[in-house]
């Protein structure tokens, strides 16, 4: 839930906006009749979003915005200016004062809803007011179980918050296969036309999880540049506040952009010499992002394996959870159904939920 302050000298506008928020969102609305009251309430309550009328007696809207931006308690909030004037000079004046967006009166609620979503996304909040979460799952060693973890984690998170699973593999990823989906749409289409909306490219799983599939034919990884990656992530965040990203086993400018933007980074390691070597290289490359890392020891095959303690000593990094091998995972994969949906008491599912999903949800509420 988002705390919203509306500052407007028109009782009709205040009433209309209150009804708008009550019907379309669960946000808390604080209504104020003039600029001074609005400033006093904003400084006392620290809302996340302000809608400010321009023409008001006493302190006008531009000055209200300037003061909100100067005060440390409100300087990072989202601000939308409301005005009957819609000329470019008016939009520039709102921008110069410090507003994030400008909406003309009479207000069209579809436009206002879209603008609110954009402004909330810009300050790191999803449309329902939760902290946005970008959660990349990574291993530079292939075959370590990245898609297994990403798919099951996304299904778990979908139970409590709208979630998108983004398969970022440029070489025909497997997330759709793991979910029993046919990738009729994929993110490769977006790269051909970055101005198109992302929502039509998403597939919906029976669990409610939305999926942005990988292209069915391999693409040149070099096209995944920083700007395109950031644009896609921002577009996805407007739709669902949580995005789980199945990363390919590479570190380029695009994947590093995602890792830098992420709230948590799920790094998978195995316990074979090649897997350990890949993990050590990754830890070195991500040393500036250590505070975000959740290191998971994924046991993807039966047999004897080193203890968590001995693996930690080799990696010189704490392991947050060990995901045990479960033969049921292979059966679930063959059926195209995530293990988290068909066997909630699986040791793998329990370990992933307790060692990873819960940490991610805590990050959403505390970030």
Mean pLDDT across the stretch 292-313? 91
Find residue 6's DSSP bridge partners. 31, 51
- Are 61 and 68 spatial neighbours (Cβ–Cβ below 8 Å)? no
Whether the pLDDT of residue 365 is over 50: the answer is no
Average pLDDT value over all residues in the chain: 87
Q: Who wins on pLDDT, 77 or 129?
A: 77
Domain with residues 3-122, CATH architecture: 3-Layer(aba) Sandwich (3.40)
Q: Which of 10-14, 53-57, 187-191 has the lowest mean pLDDT?
A: 187-191
Whether the pLDDT of residue 241 is over 50: the answer is yes
Q: Per residue in 19-52, pLDDT tens?
A: 888 776 668 899 999 999 999 999 998 898 999 9
Residue 131: predicted pLDDT = 67
Whether the pLDDT of residue 138 is over 90: the answer is yes
Mean pLDDT across the stretch 189-209? 86
For the chain, which residues make up each domain, given as ranges? 3-122, 133-366
Residue 11: predicted pLDDT = 92
Whether the pLDDT of residue 366 is over 50: the answer is no
Say if domain 133-366 classifies as CATH 3.40.630.10.
Answer: no
- Per-residue confidence band for 297, with pLDDT thresholds at 50, 70 and 90: very high
Whether the pLDDT of residue 235 is over 70: the answer is yes
Residue 220: predicted pLDDT = 65
- Per-residue confidence band for 363, with pLDDT thresholds at 50, 70 and 90: low
């Amino acid at each position: 839930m988002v705390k919203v302050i509306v500052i407007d000298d028109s009782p009709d506008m205040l009433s209309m906006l209150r009804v708008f928020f009550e019907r379309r969102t669960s946000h808390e609305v604080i209504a104020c009749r003039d600029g001074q009251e609005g400033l006093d309430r904003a400084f006392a309550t620290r809302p996340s979003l302000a809608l400010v009328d321009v023409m008001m007696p006493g302190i006008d809207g531009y000055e209200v915005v300037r003061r909100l931006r100067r005060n440390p308690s409100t300087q990072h909030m989202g601000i939308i200016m409301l005005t009957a004037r819609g000329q470019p000079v008016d939009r520039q004046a709102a921008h110069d004062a410090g507003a994030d967006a400008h909406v003309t009166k009479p207000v069209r609620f579809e436009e206002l809803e879209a603008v609110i979503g954009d402004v909330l996304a810009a300050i790191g909040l999803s449309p329902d007011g939760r902290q946005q979460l970008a959660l990349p799952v990574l291993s530079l060693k292939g075959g370590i179980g990245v898609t297994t973890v990403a798919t099951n984690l996304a299904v778990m998170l979908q139970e409590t918050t709208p979630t998108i699973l983004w398969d970022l593999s440029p070489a025909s990823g497997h997330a759709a296969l793991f979910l029993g989906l046919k990738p009729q749409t994929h993110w490769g289409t977006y790269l051909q036309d970055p101005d198109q909306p992302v929502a039509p490219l998403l597939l919906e799983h029976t669990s409610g999880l939305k999926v942005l599939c990988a292209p069915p034919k391999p693409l040149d990884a070099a096209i995944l540049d920083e700007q395109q990656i950031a644009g896609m992530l921002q577009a996805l965040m407007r739709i669902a506040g949580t995005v789980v990203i199945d990363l390919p086993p590479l570190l380029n400018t695009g994947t590093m952009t995602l890792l830098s933007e992420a709230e948590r980074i799920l790094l998978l390691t195995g316990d074979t010499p090649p897997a350990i070597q890949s993990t050590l290289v990754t830890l070195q490359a991500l040393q500036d992002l250590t505070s975000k890392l959740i290191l998971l020891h994924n046991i993807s095959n039966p047999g004897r394996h080193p203890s968590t303690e001995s693996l930690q000593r080799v990696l010189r990094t704490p392991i947050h959870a060990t995901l045990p091998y479960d033969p049921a995972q292979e059966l679930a994969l063959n059926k195209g159904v995530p293990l988290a949906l068909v066997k909630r008491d699986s040791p793998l599912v329990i370990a992933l939920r307790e060692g990873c999903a819960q940490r991610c949800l805590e990050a959403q509420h505390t970030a």
